[in-house]
A and B are shown apart, each in its own frame.
Chain A
Amino acid sequence: AQKITQTQPGMFVQEKEAVTLDCTYDTSDQSYGLFWYKQPSSGEMIFLIYQGSYDEQNATEGRYSLNFQKARKSANLVISASQLGDSAMYFCAMRPTPWDSTLTFGKGTMLLVSP
């Protein structure tokens, strides 16, 4: 079974600084997908970024980038130039194979951005 581990229950960062949220995963599959979602205090789940296991380059979406280290089975989310609106819960998730569309989620990291 797949497992996602987010070891940081909470993180603090000052506005305009960069922050890295850790995610490690465990799978025996070769072709899988990794996702990050943001959940603000309002409760909705917002898709941020995707990385495929065969993608050669790290994914980027605006201020979000994914530091993908396949050999170490890690997929850390990097947020550059943090903003107050980045304060939220962040979840790492994995889709195990291309033909299994379900997601396994980590327990999440709460990020607080201070002025």
Chain B
Amino acid sequence: DAEITQSPRHKITETGRQVTLACHQTWNHNNMFWYRQDLGHGLRLIHYSYGVQDTNKGEVSDGYSVSRSNTEDLPLTLESAASSQTSVYFCASSELPGQSTDTQYFGPGTRLTVL
């Protein structure tokens, strides 16, 4: 079955280290998204991509970067991890750009702790 996976599922790192969270989908979806979830904030958009070589900043993009070299993967990099980036990170994908339904399907999430 097609799916969206994230790795690692849990990560503890130290302040200042570079961290990369992986997201891989096998639906062949064009759209991919990264969100972070914090208590009291719901989910907030970090970066997104509408296709290979396309990346865009979301609401809370400072300190994060993404690259899209193929359809299946959108890795999220924290250039220099900060304690404020301790959060749960969700990757999502959707199939139908420009279509009314265009439902996003989410990966299982990565819990990142920055000490």
Contact = CB atoms under 8 A, between A and B. Distances in A.
B40 A101 contact: no
B108 A44 contact: yes
B52 interface: no
Contacts of B92: 45
A101 B100 contact: no
Interface of B: 31, 33, 35, 40-45, 48, 50, 58, 88, 90, 92, 94, 97-106, 108-109
Given A102-B33, A102-B45, A103-B43, 15 more contacts: A4-B42, A33-B100, A33-B102, A43-B88, A44-B108, A45-B43, A45-B92, A45-B109, A50-B101, A98-B98, A99-B98, A101-B33, A103-B45, A105-B35, A105-B42
Contacts of A107: 40-42
A98 B108 contact: no
Contacts, number: 66
Contacts of B43: 45, 91, 93, 103, 105
B107 to A, nearest CB: 8
Contacts of B90: 45
A98 B100 CA distance: 5
Output the residue of B42, B90, B99, B109 with the most chain A CB within 10 A: B42
Contacts of B42: 4, 91, 105-108
A5 B92 CA distance: 22
A27 interface: no
Contacts of B48: 101-102
